[in-house]
């Protein structure tokens, strides 16, 4: 029962994270380039006020629940959940050390003006955004595999495919 609950939390948090990042990468990021710079900067700075705490909470929840699932399971399911936890940690680190410092600059530019090399920073922000989106989606895929996979522990702690006979040991 505990495994199912933790798996549900991990899938939900990681799904929301991947969905939000995916939506941003497919819809918001290209739109940022299509509007005047001042509009982009103002919108981006305002968006980050709410987006920052919500997304960082989602990343931490996804990471910790995936880690919890890894602790509670064994074999391939543990490996998949552990991989999902590492991938969401990757999303968190990319965000914290890649996107967040650029967000701070964008916030400043929104009230002053962008420097001549602003496009370089905005392209770098896009690259970090694509990377964290990819890691979040990959984490979700790993967790979906844990949800639809048929994992069962056989005797002796060895994983068996559900429905097949568990491994036997000589007495």
pLDDT in tens, 61-114: 999 999 999 999 999 999 999 999 999 999 999 999 999 999 999 999 999 999
Q: Report the DSSP beta bridge partners of residue 151.
A: 161
Average pLDDT over residues 101-129: 96
* Dihedral class, residue 164 (left if φ above 0, else alpha if ψ from -120 to 50, else beta): beta
pTM: 0.85
pLDDT of res. 156: 42
> pLDDT at residue 59 above 80?
yes
pLDDT of res. 105: 96
Question: Hey, is 159 helix, strand or coil?
Answer: strand
> pLDDT at residue 168 above 70?
no
């Amino acid at each position: 029962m505990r495994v199912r609950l933790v798996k549900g939390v991990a899938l939900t948090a990681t799904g929301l994270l991947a969905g939000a990042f995916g939506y941003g990468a497919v819809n918001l990021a290209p739109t940022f380039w299509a509007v005047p710079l001042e509009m982009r900067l103002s919108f981006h700075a305002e968006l980050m006020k709410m987006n920052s705490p919500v997304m960082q909470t989602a990343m931490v929840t996804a990471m910790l629940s995936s880690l919890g699932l890894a602790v509670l399971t064994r074999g391939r399911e543990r490996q998949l959940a552990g991989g999902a936890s590492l991938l969401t940690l990757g999303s968190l680190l990319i965000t914290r050390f890649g996107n967040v410092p650029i967000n701070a600059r964008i916030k400043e530019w929104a009230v002053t003006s962008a420097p001549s090399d602003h496009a370089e920073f905005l392209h770098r922000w896009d690259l970090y955004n694509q990377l964290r989106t990819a890691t979040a989606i990959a984490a979700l895929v790993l967790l979906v595999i844990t949800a639809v996979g048929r994992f069962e522990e056989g005797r002796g702690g060895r994983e068996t495919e559900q429905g097949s006979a568990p491994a036997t040991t000589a007495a």
